[in-house]
């Protein structure tokens, strides 16, 4: 069990100018000049399969292009029992009442202690540890670190999880570890629990407009992708793209689809997701969803195991008549951002991450029940004209607030604010 360097492709800030604007690129470069050569370490659990990995595959190369020496290390060799435990930690931090056993906590502690022994050597100027999986390893190194590793580094715990209503017993175990860092980064101030006594900064995630998932796809090619997976591109299509996770409420999405189907018999549903290395629950849920579909030929449950990757996701989002994100808990929800960027009407749940992006009735819809979700979908299918205005507003909101260049600027501003090198 060690930390292993993640492979990262090169990306250029200038390629983002057509989407973010020249002013955003100039701002990022200005901030980068003040941090020229700064050594930045990001640590996370997995190099692919989830939103965190997706973010880092963009933000780190853009940090490099801005002049920083940014590196990314991930866990390698952790046993399945560890990810079973960390998934439970994730769920209980989001409010699930399913506390970890002493054995599960022992696995978490043991793996993190092994990982701490292989923590990437510095010296670093800034260390960003992402989510609960390596939280303890970072705290151990931060708390009793050799001079060769610490120097004057500033340590950040970056939480991507909805911390609005954590299970008390899990949070009691973890928040003392959080407080061993220099500062915490959360997606929303609503997640800044009072037990966090270190400084807290809000940074919202982003999408990469230059990635294959977010670039415009030729309409005919997109239709061919849908046809390849048995979807009729000429019939109404409802799409939810997300991890296979109970918090995304995929069973509620199926229920909403069935209510819509009563009025639109030709409606189709695609549940599109991926199986992440650190999410064993996803495999089990994928099987449950196929069973819940009940043999309905118009319900398509698809994953990366079926050959669904960036281009395929782009096709489903682009060609969707309605994009759904019926989340019960949501740290942010990058798939919402992706749908908004493609100017599609989005019907989402009331989770904090959904509300951070969607202004109800202006650039999408927020719904509090399956019935309300179905009603909004029927409304869009019945009168698609107003959804075009929703889509235009949605794309503009993403352009202003949720593109990678803005995300990068927030990180660079954080690094530049009184937490610099040699202090």
- pLDDT reported for residue 359: 97
Is residue 407 domain-shared with residue 397, that is, in the same domain?
Answer: no
pLDDT at 174 over 50: yes
Q: How far apart are CA 78 and CA 135, in angstroms?
A: 14
Domain that holds residue 74: 2-206+403-416
Is residue 42 domain-shared with residue 65, that is, in the same domain?
Answer: yes
Length of the chain as a residue count: 423
Q: How far apart are CA 234 and CA 266, in angstroms?
A: 10
340-358, pLDDT tens digit by residue?
Answer: 999 999 999 999 999 999 9
Is residue 279 domain-shared with residue 139, that is, in the same domain?
Answer: no
| 62 falls within a domain | yes
DSSP letters, 310-339, are HHHHHHHHHH-SEEEE--SS-S--HHHHHH
Q: How far apart are CA 110 and CA 43, in angstroms?
A: 18
Q: How far apart are CA 303 and CA 310, in angstroms?
A: 11
pLDDT at 191 over 90: yes
Is residue 84 domain-shared with residue 225, that is, in the same domain?
Answer: no
pTM above 0.85, yes or no: yes
296-344, pLDDT tens digit by residue?
Answer: 999 999 998 899 999 999 999 999 999 999 999 999 999 999 999 999 9
Sign of the alpha-carbon dihedral angle for 120, 125, 130, 133: positive
Of 206, 217, 173, whose CA–CA distance to 340 is shortest? 206
- pLDDT reported for residue 277: 63
Is residue 347 domain-shared with residue 389, that is, in the same domain?
Answer: yes
Q: How far apart are CA 218 and CA 28, in angstroms?
A: 31
Is residue 179 domain-shared with residue 246, that is, in the same domain?
Answer: no
CB 129 within 8 A of CB 138: yes
Tell me the average pLDDT of the chain: 94
pLDDT at 142 over 80: yes
Is residue 200 domain-shared with residue 336, that is, in the same domain?
Answer: no
| 375 falls within a domain | yes
Going by pLDDT thresholds of 50, 70 and 90, the confidence category of residue 143 is confident
pLDDT at 146 over 60: no
DSSP letters, 50-94, are SHHHHHHHHHHHHHHHTT-EEEEEEEES--HHHHHHHHHHHHHHT
| 120 falls within a domain | yes
Q: How far apart are CA 197 and CA 392, in angstroms?
A: 41
pLDDT at 187 over 60: yes
Is residue 8 domain-shared with residue 123, that is, in the same domain?
Answer: yes
Averaged over 129-141, what is the pLDDT? 97
| 214 falls within a domain | no
DSSP count for the chain of H helices, then E strands: 17, 13
360-392, pLDDT tens digit by residue?
Answer: 999 999 999 999 999 999 999 999 999 999 999
Is residue 147 domain-shared with residue 170, that is, in the same domain?
Answer: yes
- pLDDT reported for residue 148: 44
Is residue 55 domain-shared with residue 172, that is, in the same domain?
Answer: yes
| 303 falls within a domain | yes
Q: How far apart are CA 373 and CA 379, in angstroms?
A: 10
- pLDDT reported for residue 149: 52
Is residue 159 domain-shared with residue 239, that is, in the same domain?
Answer: no
| 10 falls within a domain | yes
pLDDT at 151 over 70: no
Going by pLDDT thresholds of 50, 70 and 90, the confidence category of residue 421 is very low
Domain count, the chain: 2
Share of the chain above pLDDT 70, in %: 96
| 9 falls within a domain | yes
| 212 falls within a domain | no
Is residue 241 domain-shared with residue 133, that is, in the same domain?
Answer: no
Residue 372: CATH number of its domain:
3.40.50.2000
For the ranges 136-140, 162-166, 273-277, 356-360, the lowest mean pLDDT is seen at 273-277
Sign of the alpha-carbon dihedral angle for 345, 361, 273, 184: positive
């Amino acid at each position: 069990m060690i930390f292993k360097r993640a492979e990262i492709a090169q990306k250029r800030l200038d390629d983002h100018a057509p989407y973010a604007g020249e002013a955003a690129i100039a701002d990022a470069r200005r901030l980068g000049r003040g941090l020229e050569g700064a050594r930045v370490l990001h640590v996370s659990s997995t190099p692919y399969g989830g939103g965190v990995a997706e973010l880092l595959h963009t933000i780190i190369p853009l940090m490099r292009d801005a002049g920083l020496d940014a590196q990314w290390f991930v866990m390698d060799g952790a046993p399945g029992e560890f990810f079973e435990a960390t998934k439970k930690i994730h769920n209980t931090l989001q409010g699930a009442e399913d506390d970890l056993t002493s054995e599960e906590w022992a696995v978490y502690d043991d793996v993190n202690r092994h990982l701490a022994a292989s923590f990437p050597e510095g010296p670093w100027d800034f260390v960003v540890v992402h989510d609960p999986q390596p939280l303890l390893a970072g705290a151990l190194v931060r708390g009793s670190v050799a001079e060769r590793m610490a120097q004057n580094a500033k340590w950040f715990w970056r939480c991507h999880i909805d911390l609005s209503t954590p299970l008390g017993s899990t949070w009691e175990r973890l928040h003392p570890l959080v407080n061993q860092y220099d500062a915490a980064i959360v997606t929303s101030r609503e997640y800044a629990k009072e037990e966090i006594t270190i400084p807290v900064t809000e940074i919202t995630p982003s999408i990469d407009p230059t990635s294959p998932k977010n670039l415009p796809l030729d309409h005919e090619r997109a239709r061919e992708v849908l046809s390849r997976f048995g979807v009729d591109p000429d019939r109404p299509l409802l799409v939810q793209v997300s991890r296979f996770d109970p918090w995304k409420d995929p069973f509620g999405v199926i229920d909403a689809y069935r209510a819509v189907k009563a009025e639109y018999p030709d409606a189709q549903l695609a549940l599109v997701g991926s199986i992440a290395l650190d999410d064993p629950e996803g495999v089990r849920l994928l099987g449950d969803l196929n069973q819940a579909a009940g043999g309905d030929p118009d319900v398509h449950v698809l994953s990366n195991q079926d050959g669904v990757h960036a281009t395929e996701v782009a096709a489903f989002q682009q060609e969707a008549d309605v994009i759904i994100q019926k989340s019960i808990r949501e740290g942010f929800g990058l798939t919402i951002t992706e749908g908004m960027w493609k100017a599609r009407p989005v019907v989402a749940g009331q989770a904090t991450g959904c509300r951070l992006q969607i202004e109800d009735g202006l650039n999408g819809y927020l719904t509090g029940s399956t019935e309300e979700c179905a009603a909004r979908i029927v409304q869009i299918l019945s009168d698609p004209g107003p959804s075009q205005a929703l889509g235009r507003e949605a794309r503009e909101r993403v352009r202003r607030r949720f593109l990678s260049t803005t995300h990068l600027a927030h990180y660079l501003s954080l690094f530049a604010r009184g937490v610099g090198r040699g202090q």
